[in-house]
Chains A and B, each alone.
Chain A
Amino acid sequence: MQNDKEKLKNKKIKKILDAYLEIFSESVFSLMANKVRTGLAVLGIVIGIASVIVMISLGQASQKTVESQIKSLGANLLTIMPGATRTGNVRGAMGSVESLTLDDALAIKKEFSSTYVTDVSPELSRRTQVIAGRNNTNTQIIGVYPSYQTLRNIQMENGQFISQFDLDAQRQVAVLGKQVATDIFGEESNPTGKIIRINNKTFTIIGVTQSKGGTGFFNQDDVVYIPLTTAQKNIFGVNYLSSIAIGIKNEKLMNEARDKIGYFLLARHKIQDPYQADFSIMSQNDILQTATSVTSTFTNLLSGIAAISLLVGGIGIMNIMLISVVERTREIGLRKALGAKNKVVITQFLIEAVILTLMGGFLGIIFGVVIYFVLSSILNFPFIISFSAVFLAVAVSSIIGIIFGFYPAKKAAELSPIEALRYE
């Protein structure tokens, strides 16, 4: 008995599957009969899905790039920047103020080295021209303390970093970032011991740093390090700093340290109201958040635009399906006369619409991956295809098929068989 029931059930399932297989193959046939139209209908979906995939992948890759670059700046780091002063309602642009001095940096180190601070790196950075023989490049000059190396994780490729002696003696020595070394001296050479000119002063190269990678705003290879004292007195003739990096002993102490150092500095600058501070303190996390919020905003925006193109593609599908319903009025009438129920007619047209959009989806994935591959190699991004994006694309395209196919399918099913058979 049980077995018989099971058999009957299996048979029923087989029957249903068989009917749908037939409907499916009919759908494929009718789509193939109109190749140009089918292709055009699919094109919208292809473009939509491809752009969604490219945008999402691009967004995720740039997010990853930014993250790794910021992390490579050093861990457990607080950065004090000048600026954010207010005069009435006028807020000065960040970095426009000469409020940070070497004394600030040294005082912070002295005050907090027993509690929070491992080391302090006062920095002065400016862009300027660097000349070596006939070659020259515009790059970032950073005046540093030796502590910069440990705080910012600088690894040397050859030579050595700025030393305390270089600093005290105001020596005109320079350490080149990897890219500057390559730009001026070529790929394979070792420029240590050679001479460059910065602001008409000659500097002896004492080392080259290892590449940290990265592009765009955060390129840490496109720099020249010189002693801070040399930078302030010999080159730029200023006595302020452009930033102070502070290493904190422990990640858990970051917030506490930020507050304490903030109030300490306010007191030093004789400012009562924290909102009037002439500096700002950011942790790596703050910078990371700012940067990622910018990139994710862009990613969302671009994905939104891509989604609109997907919507337009879906409307294209609906359009084609509506035309197809009108063209096949007689066929629909015949099918109904021969006993096709409304739901069978609906199913047939829905299957056609979903085949269309899925086809578009798969082509879109292929195009998207290819386009992204090209873009990522041009932009020097990691080639990561997000599976969630691919899955999303397939799901969205079949859902679009169902949504935009439903109206035409319903229209087909509601045709009266007599009217349909009479239709010429």
Chain B
Amino acid sequence: MSSDLIKLKNVSKVYKNHFIETKALDNISFIIKEGEFVAIMGPSGSGKSTLLHILGLLDKPTKGEYFFEGKKVSDLREEELAEFRNQKIGFVFQAYNLLPRVTALKNVGLPLVYAGVEKEKREKIAFEKLKIVGLEDKINHFPNQLSGGQQQRVAIARALVNNPSIILADEPTGNLASIQADEIMTIFKKLNQQGKTIILITHEEDIAEWAKRVIKIKDGKLI
């Protein structure tokens, strides 16, 4: 059996704002194993974005424990978290979040800069990853010269560049037409078949159907 990649234990997140407490996550526990393709589904305001932030080590839970590859990460220091994100997690955002003034190749190579990889090696790896998403002929294009679908493929290549343990995709098709959305989901499916663990956050049923398992969330609780 494959091992536990992610283990959440009674995780809660409370936002305090002007004396009003909002419980974004309420006592959530689940395990994601290596090689899984999981969709986290829920309507807006259900707490799924908060969950993604915690899973992506962008935020810390108020209560509970988070284990990543068996290591307790819920109380790491900020600098360690940055390194962890850099090495272990590949993000794909709804709005692509590419640097506008930088070519596709450099965008993909950005996490490698923070990992301290030299330029030649950086460009070589970035090129390989762009090839995986089928954009090897667009490496010197700037984001505004690419379609939305192509931009999201660049973002996926960037998520892959450090060979992370997991890919976290936050509504990756939210800004795309359905044909392009299918292209993107096909890439995710292929990556998963090659062994990548993928967590997908979405509110759309037909996107969630691409995943092998669906975790539903509502009002901060699993259902």
Interface of A toward B, CB cutoff 8 Å? 14-16, 18-19, 21-23, 26, 29-30, 33, 330-331, 334-342, 344, 416-418, 421
Contact = CB atoms under 8 A, between A and B. Distances in A.
Contact of B82 (A15, A23, A336, A416): A336
B115 interface: yes
Contact of B97 (A21, A334, A416, A418): A334
B111 to A, nearest CB: 5
B14 interface: no
A344 to B, nearest CB: 6
Instruction: Label chain A's interface by main secondary structure.
Output: helix
B75 interface: no
Given A330-B97, A340-B82, A342-B78, A19 B53 contact: no
A18 B118 contact: yes
A418 B59 contact: yes
A326 to B, nearest CB: 16
Interface in B23-82: 53, 56, 58-59, 78-79, 82
B146 interface: no
Nearest to A33: B101
Contacts of A342: 78-79, 82
B110 A338 contact: yes
23 contacts: A15-B117, A15-B118, A16-B116, A19-B116, A21-B119, A22-B113, A330-B97, A337-B56, A337-B85, A337-B91, A338-B91, A338-B158, A339-B82, A339-B111, A341-B83, A342-B78, A342-B79, A417-B58, A418-B58, A418-B59, A421-B58, A421-B93, A421-B97
B119 to A, nearest CB: 6
B119 A22 contact: yes
Contacts of B165: none
B87 interface: yes
Contacts, number: 66
Nearest to B159: A338
A209 B144 CA distance: 78
B190 to A, nearest CB: 23
A342 to B, nearest CB: 7
B62 to A, nearest CB: 14
Nearest to B162: A339
B215 interface: no
A416 B87 CA distance: 19
B161 to A, nearest CB: 9
B150 interface: no
Contact of B114 (A18, A29, A331, A339): A339
Contacts of A336: 82
A130 to B, nearest CB: 73
Contact of A29 (B79, B101, B110): B101
Nearest to B99: A331
A19 B79 CA distance: 17
A338 B116 contact: no
Contacts of A19: 113-114, 116
B99 A339 contact: no
Contacts of B117: 15
Given A18-B116, A338-B158, A339-B115, 13 more contacts: A19-B113, A22-B113, A22-B119, A30-B101, A330-B97, A334-B97, A334-B99, A339-B83, A339-B111, A341-B79, A416-B59, A418-B53, A421-B97
Residue from B58, B82, B111 with most neighbouring chain A CB atoms (10 Å) = B82
Nearest to A22: B113
Contacts of A14: 118
Q: Which 5 A-B pairs have the closest CB atoms?
A: A339-B86, A339-B114, A338-B111, A341-B82, A334-B97
A15 to B, nearest CB: 5
Contacts of B102: 26, 29
Contacts of B116: 15-16, 18-19
Given A26-B102, A338-B111, A18 B119 contact: yes
Interface string B136-148: 0000000000000
Residue from A339, A341, A342, A421 with most neighbouring chain B CB atoms (10 Å) = A339
B114 A340 contact: yes
